[in-house]
Amino acid sequence: MRRLRRTIILLLALALVAGAIYAVVTVLQRSETLVTERCVAVVGSDSYELATDQAANAALITAIAVQRGLPPRAATIAVATAMQESKLRNIGHGDEVGPDSRGLFQQRPSQGWGTEAEVMDPVYATNAFYDHLVKVPGYETMAITDAAQAVQHSAYPQAYAQQEPMGRAYASALTGHSERALDCTLRAADTAGDPSAVVTAMTTAFGSLPAVAQGRTVQLNITGAQAWAVAQWAVANAKDLSVTQVDVTGATWNRQDHKGWQDSAAASGSVTITVSAPKT
């Protein structure tokens, strides 16, 4: 009887432990489901929220400006314009004003912007926008409505002004001029990350960089604004690239803690991007 009693007690204890574990896992899974995925750029006391796909497009637009050696003002104008034209989404339709408008900037093939396939390519579309912008004399100091209108020839030019504060916040963060200014709140990665994919996307955005993929990380020996531009680009693209952590001069962004940029022992002169491990 004593053995039977001990066995029953042991089984009950195991059942209680299993039940507790199940409850914890269920709570964690439920809390992950309740996470609202979003990105936020902060300038002073003002913050501007975008969906993760919008933030990734803003990061691409800004990175191309950095690649081309353009001032942050160019990125501000481009991000604000794309927000007004397409809500920073690569849409495949136009409107009653421009029925053949396409892409991030709603560029029209019938107006000489390129083929439909070209303007639907975000890299091509962004470069085409900048190609026109840099030909506008004094665009760096012009009102955003005037600079954007000189490129877009919109039927509603004053509408661009409402997007300027958001454009400035994201451009400042993503050019690296504002440190720790961009944070994305994300659920846990559901697929394993690929460091080579990170390098490919980074090269598309910034051009050639001294990036080394090793294990689950991508490491770059870069400093200053360039380091912060790449680091915050990685955060903006963390959802699609399964990035779990970004380390840059004295700061770390960790996908799981949802605390934004935190002080850390990250070495100066380098950026380390870590992706999620394969599921076991």
29-43: per-residue pLDDT in tens?
A: 444 455 699 999 998
Q: How many CA atoms lie within 13 A of 176 on its CB side?
A: 20
Per-residue pLDDT of 206-260, as tens digits, reads 999 999 999 999 999 999 999 999 999 999 999 999 999 999 999 999 999 999 9
b/e burial code for range 145-161 (CB count within 10 A of at least 16 → b): bebbbbbbebeebebbe
44: confidence class by pLDDT, cuts 50, 70, 90: confident
What DSSP letter does each residue of 132-159 carry, written as one string? HHTTSTTGGGS-HHHHHHHHH--S-GGG
Classify residue 247 as exposed, middle or buried by CB count within 10 Å of its CB (0-12, 13-18, 19+).
buried
Residue 184 CA to residue 59 CA, distance in Å, equals: 12
Beta sheet of 38-43, edge-to-edge order: 46-50, 38-43, 182-185
Supply the pLDDT for residue 11. 59
Supply the pLDDT for residue 27. 37
Per-residue pLDDT of 167-179, as tens digits, reads 999 999 999 999 9
Cα 251–chain centre separation: 18
Q: Which two tokens stand for residue 208?
A: 């050639």
Which is it for the CA torsion 224, 230, 233, 237, positive or negative?
negative
Q: Which two tokens stand for residue 94?
A: 């136009």
3-state helix, strand, coil in the chain (%, to 5): 50, 15, 35
Per-residue pLDDT of 246-279, as tens digits, reads 999 999 999 999 999 999 999 999 999 999 998 8
Supply the pLDDT for residue 6. 66
Q: Which helix or strand (DSSP H or E) is residue 26 part of?
A: helix 2-34
pLDDT(22) > 60: no
Q: Which helix or strand (DSSP H or E) is residue 69 part of?
A: none
| Torsion of Cα atoms, 55 then 58 then 59 then 62, to 10° | -160
pLDDT(18) > 60: no
